[in-house]
Structure 1
Amino acid sequence: MTDQAVGGGHLPPETAGRPATAARDLQASPPRQDGVAGGPPSRRGAPEGTAPGAPAAPPASRFAGRRRELKALRADIARTGLDTLSGRRGARSRVLLIAGRPGAGRTALAEELLRELADDYPDGVLRAVLTAPGGGAVGTDRTARELLTALGVDSPPGATEDELTESLRAALADRRALLFLDDAPGAEQVEALLPDAPDCLVVVVSQGPLTGIPDVRPCTVGGLDSAACVEILARFAGPTRITVDPRIAEAVAEECGGQPAALVLAGGWLAVRPKASISDLRNELHGVPLPEDLPRGLRPLYRAFRLAYAALPPPAARILRLLTLAPGGLIDPHIASALAGCSVAAATTMLQDFVALGLLRPVPDEEAGADGVAASSPGAHGSGSVPHPRYQLPSCLGPLARELLQEHERPADIQLARARMLERTVRLLLSCRAMGEPVDSPARQKVAGLPRSLRFPSEDAAASWLRSRRDALLDAARVAVADGELDTLDRRLMAALTRTLLAHLGAQAAAPDLYALHGLVLEVARRRDLPHEKAAALLNLADLDGQCGRTEEALTRYRGALEAARSVKDPVATGRALESLGGTYSELGDWQRAADWYGRALELRLARGESADAARLHGRIGGAHTYAGRWGDALKEWRAAARTYRRLGDVAGQARATGEVARVQEYAGRPEEALRTCMEALETARSAGDGRLEAALQLRIADTLERLGDPAAARLHRAVGERLLEDHPL
């Protein structure tokens, strides 16, 4: 995650007399955290049709300082490594490490390096953040899956970490790409992701060394030089105030420790106070009280953040604290509105103000066009509308903001804010899912009654919103499950997210996410002792395991689902578990056990009077006996299936079952009986109007006639069957 942000909040009263465009200018293109890009750009030249208050397309990045570090990093790429001293090329990718404290400009330096190297790596740049917003390490399996998705490579649901990292190495083996691993907690998380591809380059940002990874080229980032610091301040405060007090500006840079994150916050404080001098800024910074146990290296950023925070009005300060609860660290006006209990419009203004003050940074939209305008989102209507933007709290500010949250907010208030956020997310998911339904469907009509801010203008806009928030939505479910106090809301969230993913992505594309969601549902069901939901979750997980070839895991879960379903006498889940066990044993080729489990399912269906399911199960039992070579048992079951279909009036089903009777008779060495039965099935298929089944039966009759020594009749039936196949291809 980028170490610095730019943001806003309700601007202090000193700015009341400034033109309305001033605040918009400040947030249009934020400076990059590492002291890289610069202050408030002009709105001149913004694309026509851009709505007032919307971020304009960012200008080209202006990098301040770090030229020595950039030169050293580029030199390390070409330098011979320990693994190439013998003259042979190394088997793994070269690893460059940019080390330093959060807020020191590590990420922006890495981004500038990637920008300069992009043309040398035609397969592009892959990015991953290895530390979660809360400070914990992101699971390597999640990171590997996200990188595979970025490469367009499908990964099986429920795959292990080793399987995913192996797939990632295989996908990168023949590519020339840049892999950027930001905010790495340590070598363990990095090493598993390193590709065995010498044409790739890995750039890692971390706070410390990567002990254990051979031939890492480190670049330690300290404070910026005085000139670069003053340049950053000038971009916010303008050149006049810096020119008036150049020595004080250098003193402010020293007070900020040369840290870009602190400088941006200090510059944001100046930018919204046109009457304040650089000397005023220095005095205010120096006056911020410091905790006695605060390490010296953290003091500059602490002072700058506390100064920016102290200038916020109470409502804005509270919103800033609550933003640390945003799932996945992704913030938008809906999240902010729900957390704070204010309107979406008020939250939008507040977030833009936070950007101007350096407290948030905008997140580029992956689907934005060349003009920087992204796909629509709730509340954005019409071709000229601009969506609600997305933001992130810089990782270096996260711990400071979370400390304020614990200091000022009661646990009950935090829980209430989370509940409001989950409830809003559920409503958005229901609205998103409804956009995939027909216009006149009840779901669409219900959504039409929602507030404008919760509606999507089109199905494409809803799908785009889902894709851009997918990781954050999954994280919201994980956090709520881990919290354990909002299980009712979390269950609603997971149910809505599951249906929405299926509606917009389809079962195959959504399978990895669904696997994670079913696992979370199972965790809640076990904790809350909910047998119905436990059985459903186990069945869904077992289905996905079976699809991926993990049959032993599937069997274990199907048995667990059967036990849970029987404990509450749930006939639907019980029947599904019994059939699934039969199907899994069929895949294993254990036909005796398959027939046994199908038989148990048949007893349940017959007891409940479910004749259609009973007919289907008779056929499955007959199929298992056929594969096992038990012709008598197979004939008995297929005939029972045909009789049941006849009683139900399902002529096509009766024809198929009768055809299977003929197949078993032929396998049993009774071709004459098989021919008569097949003729009977053919007449039934004709009466059902099933052309494809009729074609298949004609071809089977032809094969039987050839074996009986009647080639002329066989040719006639085969010709008829082939003509039917042309009209009804199989």
Structure 2
Amino acid sequence: MHTRFTVLGPLRAWRGEVELELGPPKQRALLAFLLAQPNHPVGTHEIVDALWRQNPPDSAVNVVHRHIGALRRLFEPDMPSRGMSRWLVRASGGYRLDADPESLDLLRFRHLRERASGTGEPAEATELLVEALTLWRGPTASGIPPEVRAHPAFGAVDGEHLAAVKHAAERALETGREPRARVLVTLRQAAALHMLDEALQARLILMLAATGHQAEALEVYRTVRARLADDLGVQPGPELQAAQRRVLAQTYVWDDSARAEGTRSADPARADARTESAGTDRESETAGTGWVSESSGGGRESATAEPFDPDHRMSLVVPPAQLPAKLPSFTGRLDELARFRGLLPGNSASTVVISAIGGMAGVGKTALAVHWAHQVADRFPDGQLYVDLRGFHPSGTVMSPAEAIRSFLDALGVPAQRVPAGLDAQAALYRSLLARRRVLIVLDNARDTEHVRALLPGAPGCLVVVTSRHQLYGLVAAEGAYSLTLDVLGEDDALRFLSDRLGPDRIARDPGAARAIAAACGGLPLALAVVSARAAINPAFPLSGIAEELAESEGSLHAFSGEAPAADARSAFSWSYRLLSPEAARVFRLLALHPGADCSVAAAASLAGLRRAEIRPPLAELSRAHLVSETEPGRFTCHELLRAYGSELGRSLDAPPERRAARRRMFDHYLHSAHAADAVLAPSRERLTLGPPVAGTVVSEFADQARAAEWLETNRSVLLAAVEQSARRGCGEQSWQLAAGIELYLDRSGRRQEQFVAQTTAARAAQGLGDVRGQAHAHRALGFANGRLERWVDAAGHLARALDLFAYVGDRAGQGRVHRYAAFLANARGRHEEALEHYAQAGLLYREAGRRSGQASVANEVGWTHILTGRYTEALEECGRALAVHQEIGDRNGEAAAWDSLGYAHHHLHEHDRALTCYEHALELYRAIRDRYLEADTLVHIGDSRYAAGEFERAADARRQALDILDGLGHPDAEAVRGKLKDAVAAGAGEQPAHL
């Protein structure tokens, strides 16, 4: 008998045609919690947290088991045994509710949304979205206890409804009147509940105007504008302003330019004003500290960085030049290059030109894109951006659009503290930066159209070159892209390819053999390059002998089945591979296990279980054979087709235990190296105690903060990929431990979305292992990451869960750190009394744990909170207590932080001489422990006090020293300090400072 559930509105269930009575409130809430996460294992502790929050009874787990049993009997009264339940099954230390779109309205809703996203027809998409929205009958799981419904799992589902309403409005605006009217009903309801959601209100305004309600549309604009002014103290944002202009101009169709138009006209200061008005005030003049630690001086964050102005910023930095090096030789593709040249007429500044280059792996898409990009780069004076999106990387570690767009914002000079949260906001800033500029953008190895959509400019004048193994029909249909599919080289071009690399004389001596080699390689440029490299290294080899060996090679690349020349490529690779030394061949196979785009010498050595000196000869041998490429000194990469070939060889030639051991050494390399870098960045911070790395692991060591930060930045993409792959490969402990090791770095560098993804993966990995301590650390980090993204409800939920888990394992210091995170986030929202309550709990827990350093740091952070509220005398008392304890126990990092906080309090009391004395103590200590970032931080404070005392030249000197350090670290705080330095120089010259 068919069972159905609804959770989009009141929670209900039917067996056949009979509606079921779902039992007492806790049992109903349990069912709703599982339905909100269908087909996903939910741990028992998660269920307990959701049902009882922070006060579960001792019998909570038993109550959960009883409710599960009752629900099973209700849905399956004829169930023969507990283990054979169709709906509720045991999974990963908890339960999973299995459902499909026919049995659960939430899955039906998601299925319809996916279909709507996959169609290019606005009318069809609108119909599908309207059908999806009719499934909603109120807030998710309405009727269950409100304290349970406050869980983030239900809020996330509610968010899907809001996103669907916005999407339906966009699609309906591209259709006729009748579909628009149907969407308008739902849009009105949603807008009434979310008065301050400007994106939603903008769509309502356009929809009202498009259905003949122009006066009402303008009234909605006036009403929302008044609410924004009254509630937040800000003016309407770019999307609302753009919507009003479109109503007045009677242009109502929604497209990407609707969003882009508003974005480009935005006041860049407004986003900060909105954030601050909403209660997320910046906590200090220390730009971008962005982390909580024993040495953080209270976990303070920037308040003085000027609002980011895209136009001004682009005039200050050197235009980015990210194109890969120009190829030393490029053969053929004359027809393609001629067609490309026709894409850039004299008035190319009037449009965004997109070229989508498709074709199989190894056919030369990237080579053509880079070659053409270098030919036309001079026509784009504002720079060139390049990113490898890894859309078909054999390890599955695809670069997300969020990661790619963040790398572009970095290249365009956006300080980390000015990067907004969320992909949509980051994409809007990115488009604003490119407005009215001419930039060449190469998006290499895209998986599909959606992979690159957020990376497309919204303004004329740019050239975008996209390469992909797939034909990007979406770009052609929606963006008017020029599409080109590359084929393998014809015989003449293949022979020219060989001639360029081996010399015309060698080809002329045996042209028949050369044609046989070209045919054996199937005209595939990658295969031709590999064979040419081996033949060039062995100039005495006759071409006829090479051709015979290639003809004898057999096999196919199963990973690329369906691509005809792959078998020929394998023959070419095999010919080079069989001439490798045994050690080089083994290293080639093991490199295929590496998750990232490129690999360091130390990582390669760990994979092979060799010392650094021992790994260099086989890497050099592989490089000479063109089976790997050294992209920069000490870093190696190889083409995906070669990686796939190496992976196939490894599976057939290397025993599974050997491959597992290699992966373990590699993950241990990144885990222990990341923790070593973290220890250098924050020596006294609480951190995990790791077991020793497995034998054969090479661990990187760092002499100072600059080298540690450089290693983390260079390996960032690989570290994130390693977190994901180690979780996927069953190395869950390494996954969550690695995520914990890079938490501080990701937060300091402002990579909040990446932090969120990494810690979410870590939490799932730890949950899969049943590792309570790992879950505690991951939820603690997720709480802070969500706070950084201003997802306050989610932040509170994760921190509460972390508190419970740390309590479960008896880790009082861990609980203390969670309370400190909660206090930091409370201060960020202006809730200073709430912050002090959390600090009181943290101090008590540290005292019970015997962690005097933690107690002292809490005192310092309490003092910092008093500074934020203007209670400077109380701040001096608390920071003085912190100083005494840190001095007594010999914690120099904590002592330096306390001196800095004391100086900051004296500064606000206008006691500049005392402030400078405290700062000098802090500066001496930070220099002694080689904490370059906090040395710069204190120099900024010294400059501020000198400036306030009228000592402009000495203020400029301190700020100049700080700027030199921050520039050396590549730190985003440098820009704010640069502005302060200009003020000091101007004031010293008797001029009006720009910042006054």
- Single out whichever of 534-543 and 345-354 deviates more from structure 2: 534-543
2:607 equivalent in structure 1:
339
1:4 equivalent in structure 2:
none
Amino acid of the residue matched to residue 525 of structure 1?
A
Amino acid of the residue matched to residue 641 of structure 2?
C
* Aligned with residue 409 of structure 2, among 112, 136, 148: 148
1:561 equivalent in structure 2:
802
1:481 equivalent in structure 2:
727
Q: How does 1:684-699 map to 2 (within 5 A)?
A: none
CA-CA distance at 1:567 after TM superposition: 2.6
1:9 equivalent in structure 2:
none
CA-CA distance at 1:642 after TM superposition: 11
* Aligned with residue 353 of structure 1, among 601, 621, 624: 621
CA-CA distance at 1:200 after TM superposition: 0.9
1:391 equivalent in structure 2:
636
Amino acid of the residue matched to residue 376 of structure 2?
L
CA offsets per residue over residues 210-269 of structure 1, 9 Å max, x none? Answer: 112231111221222433322332344343331111233223223322221111122123
Give the Cα–Cα distance (whole angstroms) in 1 for the partners of residues 328 and 737 of structure 2. Answer: 43
1:187 equivalent in structure 2:
449
TM-score by length of 1: 0.65
Amino acid of the residue matched to residue 381 of structure 2?
P
1:208 equivalent in structure 2:
470
2:520 equivalent in structure 1:
255
SS at match of 2:385: strand
Inter-CA distance 566–121: structure 2 relative to 1 (3 Å threshold) = same
1:163 equivalent in structure 2:
425
Amino acid of the residue matched to residue 74 of structure 1?
R
Inter-CA distance 459–564: structure 2 relative to 1 (3 Å threshold) = closer
CA offsets per residue over residues 95-144 of structure 1, 9 Å max, x none? Answer: 10112111111111111100001101112221122225326443222222
CA-CA distance at 1:180 after TM superposition: 0.6
Asked if 1 retains the 8 angstrom alpha-carbon contact of 2:733 and 2:765, the reply is no
Give the Cα–Cα distance (whole angstroms) in 2 for the partners of residues 318 and 254 of structure 1. Answer: 29
Amino acid of the residue matched to residue 217 of structure 1?
Y
Amino acid of the residue matched to residue 568 of structure 1?
V
1:402 equivalent in structure 2:
647
Q: How does 1:355-370 map to 2 (within 5 A)?
A: 355-363=623-631, 365=632
Q: How does 1:235-246 map to 2 (within 5 A)?
A: 235-246=500-511
SS at match of 2:360: coil
Amino acid of the residue matched to residue 264 of structure 1?
A
CA offsets per residue over residues 474-526 of structure 1, 9 Å max, x none? Answer: 322332122223x4444554455456x48xxx824566665555444433433
Give the Cα–Cα distance (whole angstroms) in 2 for the partners of residues 179 and 281 of structure 1. Answer: 40
Inter-CA distance 155–695: structure 2 relative to 1 (3 Å threshold) = closer
CA-CA distance at 1:344 after TM superposition: 2.5
Give the Cα–Cα distance (whole angstroms) in 1 for the partners of residues 675 and 883 of structure 2. Answer: 38
Give the Cα–Cα distance (whole angstroms) in 2 for the partners of residues 571 and 121 of structure 1. Answer: 57
SS at match of 2:627: coil
Q: How does 1:623-702 map to 2 (within 5 A)?
A: none
Inter-CA distance 254–458: structure 2 relative to 1 (3 Å threshold) = same
**1:112 lines up with 2:371 in the alignment:** yes
Asked if 1 retains the 8 angstrom alpha-carbon contact of 2:392 and 2:447, the reply is no
Give the Cα–Cα distance (whole angstroms) in 1 for the partners of residues 815 and 698 of structure 2. Answer: 43
Inter-CA distance 528–74: structure 2 relative to 1 (3 Å threshold) = same
* Aligned with residue 139 of structure 1, among 400, 425, 446: 400
2:198 equivalent in structure 1:
none
Asked if 1 retains the 8 angstrom alpha-carbon contact of 2:557 and 2:567, the reply is no
Inter-CA distance 242–596: structure 2 relative to 1 (3 Å threshold) = closer
Asked if 2 retains the 8 angstrom alpha-carbon contact of 1:155 and 1:512, the reply is no
Inter-CA distance 111–595: structure 2 relative to 1 (3 Å threshold) = closer
SS at match of 1:179: strand
Asked if 1 retains the 8 angstrom alpha-carbon contact of 2:584 and 2:619, the reply is no
The structure that has the greater radius of gyration is 1
Inter-CA distance 89–601: structure 2 relative to 1 (3 Å threshold) = same
Amino acid of the residue matched to residue 358 of structure 2?
A
SS at match of 1:142: helix
Amino acid of the residue matched to residue 721 of structure 2?
D
Asked if 1 retains the 8 angstrom alpha-carbon contact of 2:420 and 2:426, the reply is no
2:353 equivalent in structure 1:
94
* Aligned with residue 423 of structure 1, among 663, 668, 672: 668
Asked if 2 retains the 8 angstrom alpha-carbon contact of 1:598 and 1:621, the reply is no
Q: How does 1:524-535 map to 2 (within 5 A)?
A: 524-535=765-776
2:111 equivalent in structure 1:
none
**1:123 lines up with 2:391 in the alignment:** no
CA offsets per residue over residues 270-312 of structure 1, 9 Å max, x none? Answer: 2233332222222222211245986433232122112222233
SS at match of 1:205: strand
Which stretches in structure 2 are left out of the alignment for 5+ residues? Answer: 1-323, 684-695, 885-902, 912-944, 956-996
SS at match of 2:484: strand
Asked if 1 retains the 8 angstrom alpha-carbon contact of 2:598 and 2:637, the reply is yes
Give the Cα–Cα distance (whole angstroms) in 2 for the partners of residues 203 and 621 of structure 1. Answer: 50
**1:73 lines up with 2:302 in the alignment:** no
Amino acid of the residue matched to residue 64 of structure 1?
T
Give the Cα–Cα distance (whole angstroms) in 1 for the partners of residues 521 and 904 of structure 2. Answer: 83
Asked if 1 retains the 8 angstrom alpha-carbon contact of 2:520 and 2:572, the reply is no
Inter-CA distance 218–573: structure 2 relative to 1 (3 Å threshold) = same
Give the Cα–Cα distance (whole angstroms) in 2 for the partners of residues 591 and 691 of structure 1. Answer: 20
**1:264 lines up with 2:522 in the alignment:** no
Give the Cα–Cα distance (whole angstroms) in 1 for the partners of residues 679 and 836 of structure 2. Answer: 42
Give the Cα–Cα distance (whole angstroms) in 1 for the partners of residues 796 and 609 of structure 2. Answer: 47
SS at match of 2:474: coil
CA-CA distance at 1:539 after TM superposition: 3.1
Inter-CA distance 541–80: structure 2 relative to 1 (3 Å threshold) = same
Give the Cα–Cα distance (whole angstroms) in 1 for the partners of residues 722 and 678 of structure 2. Answer: 18
Inter-CA distance 532–66: structure 2 relative to 1 (3 Å threshold) = same
CA-CA distance at 1:428 after TM superposition: 4.5
Asked if 2 retains the 8 angstrom alpha-carbon contact of 1:558 and 1:577, the reply is yes
Amino acid of the residue matched to residue 335 of structure 1?
A
Amino acid of the residue matched to residue 314 of structure 1?
P
Give the Cα–Cα distance (whole angstroms) in 1 for the partners of residues 841 and 709 of structure 2. Answer: 43
**1:570 lines up with 2:832 in the alignment:** no
Give the Cα–Cα distance (whole angstroms) in 1 for the partners of residues 708 and 834 of structure 2. Answer: 46
Asked if 2 retains the 8 angstrom alpha-carbon contact of 1:599 and 1:621, the reply is no
CA offsets per residue over residues 378-410 of structure 1, 9 Å max, x none? Answer: xxxxxxxxxx52221112222222111212222
Inter-CA distance 326–614: structure 2 relative to 1 (3 Å threshold) = closer
Asked if 2 retains the 8 angstrom alpha-carbon contact of 1:340 and 1:417, the reply is yes
Give the Cα–Cα distance (whole angstroms) in 2 for the partners of residues 107 and 572 of structure 1. Answer: 51
Give the Cα–Cα distance (whole angstroms) in 2 for the partners of residues 168 and 597 of structure 1. Answer: 38
CA offsets per residue over residues 571-626 of structure 1, 9 Å max, x none? Answer: 334345456556656765779977876776687689899997998999999999x9
Amino acid of the residue matched to residue 547 of structure 2?
R
CA-CA distance at 1:155 after TM superposition: 5.3
1:414 equivalent in structure 2:
659
CA-CA distance at 1:436 after TM superposition: 6.7
Asked if 2 retains the 8 angstrom alpha-carbon contact of 1:153 and 1:171, the reply is no
SS at match of 2:381: coil
Give the Cα–Cα distance (whole angstroms) in 1 for the partners of residues 878 and 678 of structure 2. Answer: 37
**1:177 lines up with 2:444 in the alignment:** no
Asked if 1 retains the 8 angstrom alpha-carbon contact of 2:867 and 2:875, the reply is no
Amino acid of the residue matched to residue 468 of structure 1?
T
Asked if 2 retains the 8 angstrom alpha-carbon contact of 1:423 and 1:489, the reply is yes
1:315 equivalent in structure 2:
583
CA offsets per residue over residues 143-181 of structure 1, 9 Å max, x none? Answer: 222222222224578933333333322332243111111
**1:198 lines up with 2:198 in the alignment:** no
Amino acid of the residue matched to residue 72 of structure 1?
R
TM-score by length of 2: 0.49
SS at match of 2:554: coil
**1:539 lines up with 2:799 in the alignment:** no
